[in-house]
Amino acid sequence: MAQDSIQNEIMYLSDGAYANFVTGFGNASMDKDEHTHVKCGVTTPNYSALAAQYVKDGIVKRIARDPAVKSLKAPIVINDDKNDETFKALSRLGFFRACRNAGTWANLFGGSIVVSIFEGDGDAKLEEPVGDNAKVVGYRVYTPGRINLTESDLGSDPESKWYGKVEKFPVQVRNGKILNIHASRCHVFHGIEAPDILDTDLNTYIFGCSLVDMANVGLKKLPPAFGSISNMLQENGLSVFGLNGFSQMLAVEGGVAKARERMNLIKLGISSMRGVVQDKEDTFDMKSHSMSDIPESVKMLMAYVSALIGRPVSTLFGNMVSGLSSTNEGDIRQENDYMEQWRQDTLYEPMVEMLTEFRTRNEGKTGIQDFTFGEVWQSTEAEKADVFEKKVNSCKSLYEMGSITPKETRKNLILKGGTSEISVDTEIPDGTQTPPTPTPPTTEE
């Protein structure tokens, strides 16, 4: 016990700045947000607390799920996929639902794995490498909260392809059983990469850091702030009664009823004619809070959370800019840039790995199978009409200049009306082919 006490003292008082009455850290008092003492380093996230935040806090849900949903809102374009046969087959197997969930848990918990399920798989076979001819029949998604990695799970054979990597993921399923799923079946979706000096925790080293956990220093301030505002609004206009001889009145028999009747009469007078009828010695006042600084304070908290996440306030909180000259175009562009970068960092690599696995095993394709993400932002009908009108004016000007023919104008406006690019044929406007460039004669010596 003495040794434990000494160890605790060292942990609390290793830095004097952490144990003082100003910051609230250390053994002097508890931090209001975390309710724990400070630890220098990356600690394992409280996965249950993060899951509760995701369920109860709408902002946390948007932070975790929005990037995955928006990244896959438009269908991906798979190379050499005739009639979208591969896309439809993957949709039937739950490929895109698994990728959305895996991306969501990567933001919330710091990572996740998608386990490919093959024909004839059982719990025992999940611990073995996948056979060469097995076909993919489905996917399962697991979070780091169900995976307790230890050093023994890393490959120790220098000649193995899993040397220094996780060879088997110990996943705890619903019935409490631990399944050691072989890494050849698993596809890791990573969270935010931690600096190597702080990745002493194996889960952090393999998966990454939770975006929500990193932003909790700001997110945890929002609910108390909104709760305080709600209380202030409910208590605004508080009635304060000053009754002459109130203490003596309560001391006599039936005094409480008399005091209550007296206050009811005052309230009755207010409700009937907005006036107060009372004795000369009594007082009555209405207390109200000043609300002038509340909007600005809330905006500062929202901006702080926005800075931690890297997304604009307007799109993160749904507080869109309004006004005749305000289009919010800058915030929308920043939001789209964030989504495009996020899906490239988090989704692209494991999705290519899963797509290659499916097409190789189920369709007999060879080599790495690639795809292209769809557009993050889809134009509205008004925006499409505006682009088309500008394209008509451009084609008209080019036609009047003699740069394009009526046939090319029709092709650009009608056949390729969905794009903003203008293309021309290799022929010149009068219909003749472009003459070849003459080769200069060579001089023989």
Banded model confidence at residue 435, pLDDT cuts 50, 70, 90: very low
Question: What is the amino acid identity at position 379?
Answer: S
326: pLDDT strictly greater than 70? no
Alpha-carbon distances, residue 90 vs 13, 93, 298 (angstroms): 56, 5, 44
CA gap 296, 313 in Å, rounded: 14
Helices (H), 178-221: 202-206, 211-219
Task: Supply the pLDDT for residue 410.
Answer: 81
Task: Supply the pLDDT for residue 67.
Answer: 94
Mean pLDDT of the chain: 78
Span 45-61, mean pLDDT? 91
Name the least confident of 20-34, 234-248, 392-406. 20-34
- Other C-beta atoms closer than 10 Å to the C-beta of 100 total 19
Helices (H), 291-380: 294-309, 313-317, 329-346, 348-362
CA gap 211, 256 in Å, rounded: 56
Counting beta carbons within 10 angstroms of the beta carbon of residue 225, is it exposed (0 to 12), middle (13 to 18) or buried (19 or more)?
Answer: middle
14: pLDDT strictly greater than 60? no
CA gap 128, 115 in Å, rounded: 13
Name the least confident of 22-31, 230-239, 321-330, 384-393. 22-31
CA gap 243, 265 in Å, rounded: 13
Task: Supply the pLDDT for residue 325.
Answer: 43
Banded model confidence at residue 415, pLDDT cuts 50, 70, 90: low
For residues 222 and 59, the answer to whether their CB atoms sit within 8 Å is yes
pLDDT: which is higher, 201 or 400: 400
116: pLDDT strictly greater than 60? yes
Name the least confident of 20-24, 194-198, 223-227, 419-423. 20-24
SS3 labels along 394-405? HHHHHHHHCCCC
CA gap 224, 215 in Å, rounded: 16
Task: Supply the pLDDT for residue 275.
Answer: 57
For residues 358 and 90, the answer to whether their CB atoms sit within 8 Å is yes
Task: Bin 208: left if φ > 0, else alpha if -120 < ψ < 50, else beta.
Answer: left
As a whole number of angstroms, the longest Cα–Cα distance in the chain is 135
Query: What is the DSSP track for 244-280?
Result: TTHHHHHHSTTHHHHHHHHHHHHHHHHHHHS-----T
Q: What percent of the chain has pLDDT over 70?
A: 73
Span 257-284, mean pLDDT? 69
Banded model confidence at residue 315, pLDDT cuts 50, 70, 90: confident
pLDDT digits (tens, 9 = 90+) for 73-103: 989 999 989 889 999 999 999 999 999 999 9
Residue with the two structure tokens 């724990």: 36
CA gap 17, 11 in Å, rounded: 13
CA gap 258, 246 in Å, rounded: 10
Give the residue from 226, 240, 238 showing the smallest Cα distance to 289: 238
Banded model confidence at residue 199, pLDDT cuts 50, 70, 90: low
Name the least confident of 58-72, 247-261, 331-345, 372-386. 372-386
Beta bridge mates, 189: 112
pLDDT: which is higher, 412 or 65: 65
For residues 406 and 397, the answer to whether their CB atoms sit within 8 Å is no
The first and second tokens of residue 222, run together, are: 């929002």
Tell me phi and psi for residue 347, to 5 degrees: -95, -35
Give the residue from 88, 100, 90, 76 showing the smallest Cα distance to 135: 90
- Other C-beta atoms closer than 10 Å to the C-beta of 320 total 12
The H or E element that residue 114 is part of is strand 111-118
353: pLDDT strictly greater than 70? yes
Residues counted in the chain: 445
Task: Supply the pLDDT for residue 22.
Answer: 47
